[in-house]
Amino acid sequence: MRRIKEILRLKLQVGLSDREIALSCRVARSTVAEYIKRASEAGLLIWPLPKDLDDGQLKELLFKKTAGIARQDRPQPDFKTIHNELRRHKSVTLQLLWEEYKESNPAGYQYTQFCDLYRAWAKKLDLVLRQPHRAGEKLFVDYAGPKVSIVDAKTGAINEASIFVAVMGASTYTYADATARQDLMSWIGSHIRAFEFMGGCPAAVVPDNLKAGVKRPCRYEPELNPTYEEMAAHYQVAVMPARPRKPKDKAKVESGVLVVERWILAALRKRTFFSIAELNEAIAELVERLNHRPFRKLPGCRAELFASLDRPALQPLPAERYSFAEWKPATVNIDYHVELDHHFYSVPYSLVGQKVELRYTSTTVEVLHRGVRVASHARSYQQGEATTVNQHRPQSHQRYLSWTPSRLLEWASKAGLATRSVADSILKSRRFPEQGYRSCLGLIRLGDRYGQQRLEAACVRALSFQACSYKSVKSILENGLDRQSDTDPKPATEPLLHENIRGADYFKEGEEDRHAH
C-alpha cells in the first residue's frame, strides 16, 4: 500500500501527471490511472489521507468492489502457459504476458492482480519446479552421497563407485552415471556424456566446489581447474560454481540427487555388480524410467517438458568430442628443456628461465608461453631421456652437434692428407669419438685463422714428431715452426764444459786401457 499512497501524494499534493508519476514510481501509466480511479470512487481524492485510515482499511476501500467478482466475472489467465513461457524465453516478463492477456481480454485483471494471482498459483507447485530457470540455461551437476559397491569377480575385492548426477534447470530432466573415482578425468568424462545424453549444451553449468573442477573456491572469483575450463570453452558453456556453503545455489541438483538416490540407488540396493559398465547399464534403464515418470502436480513428465522447453534451447554439440588433457606449470631449465613425469622436452632456448604451461594428453605434450604454443612433442614415457627438436637449440649448439666423425674427416681432407691423418688420430685416441670433436673443431678454427696451407704444413711436422693433438699443432703455428724445413742446417752448438762433465774422451781412454790389459 506504500506505493498507492505515494501515487496519491504525487497526484494530489505535488500535482504530477500520470506519466510523470509512472516514471517516478516505476509502474505502468495505466496502473496509476487505475489507482486514481479507485481512489475517486472510494471518495479518497484528498491529501493527506485521514490519520485513522490504516493500510488494511485503505485496501478494503479501494478493492472491495472487485474482490467478490475477481474469480467469477473476469477471464482467468492460463497460468500453466504463462509459467512455461517465462522459463522458455529469457526476455519474456510478466509485464509482457499481462499485456498480451489484456489484448485478448480487455475486461481482464490489471497488472498487479495478474501478478498476485500468478504467484499464488506458482506457490502450489513443487519447490523444484517453481524455480525461475530459463529453458536451456543451466545444467546443475554434483555427485550423490551414497556409493555403489563393485565386486571384483577374480579377487572378490569390493570397490566403491561414485554416482554423477546432472539436472536441467527448467525441466529437471536428469542424467546419471557411475565412475570408479571422483578425479578430474572421471569428472570431465561424466560432463561429456551428460552433454551427449541431452543432445546439446546448456548456456551454463553449475557445479559444487569439487576439487577436481574448482581449484580455489571463492564467493566472487572462483578459480577453475584449467582442464575443466578448457572443456567448458570447447563446448561453449560457462561454468558458474555454487558459492561455498550456499546449497540454495544448487538446489536443483540437490533435489535431483535426492530423486536419484530414492528412485535409482534404492532400487539397486539388492543387486550385485561386477563392473562399472554393468552398473551403468542398470542406471541407464532407471534414468529412462525416472524421466518418463509423471509429475504429481503438473501434467506430463520430465522427458516431455525437456522436449518442449530445454531441448529446443540447447546449443548444438561441437563437431568433435573434447579430448581430455591435463595442465601443469613448469619453468624452462638452463638446458632449454622442461620436465614431465621424469622425461624432458625441449622448448626454444630463448625461453630459458621463463614460466610456461604444459598441456599433455596420453599421446602429446604441448608447451604454451603466455597462451601461445611454442613447442609440441609426442608423449614419451622413458624416464631420464630427452625429446629434443634441433631448431630449439642455439646456433652454436646446432653447429656443434651437426659434426660427425665422417664429416670432420671430410673437412680435414680439404686441407690435406696430413690434416686428415691428425684428425683421424685424434678421434681414434679417444674412447668415444665424440670426445675428440672439440679438438677437431679446434683444428678447423686454426685453419680459419692461419690458412689451410699452413695448417697442413703444421700437421706434417706434428706427424713427424708423433704429436697429433690440437695443442701441438697450435704451438707449431704460433711459433712459426710450420715454415721451418726439416732439411735446414741445424745451428752448431758449443760443447758443454764443466768440471763434473767427463766428456766423450774420458770414455775412449777407459776403453783403450781395458784392451791393453
| CA–CA dist 268, 274 (Å, integer) | 13
Cis status, amide bond into 48, omega within 30 of 0: yes
Q: List, for residues 301-321, the tens digit of each pLDDT value.
A: 889 989 988 899 899 999 999
DSSP string, 211-252: TTTEEE--SS-PEEPHHHHHHHHHTT-EE-PPPTT-GGGGHH
Please report, as a single letter, which amino acid is at residue 209.
Answer: N
Residue-level pLDDT at 51 = 74
- Residue 269: predicted pLDDT: 83
What DSSP element (H or E) covers 63?
Answer: helix 55-67
How would residue 399 be classed by pLDDT, with cut points 50, 70 and 90? low
Question: Domain 138-313, what architecture?
Answer: 2-Layer Sandwich (3.30)
The string of pLDDT tens digits covering residues 328-363 is 899 998 878 899 988 999 999 889 889 999 998 888
pLDDT tens profile 115-125: 888 888 877 76
Contacts of 351 (CB under 8 A, 6+ apart): 332, 336, 369, 374
**Which residues are CB-neighbours of 126 under 8 A, at least 6 positions away?**
295, 296, 297, 298
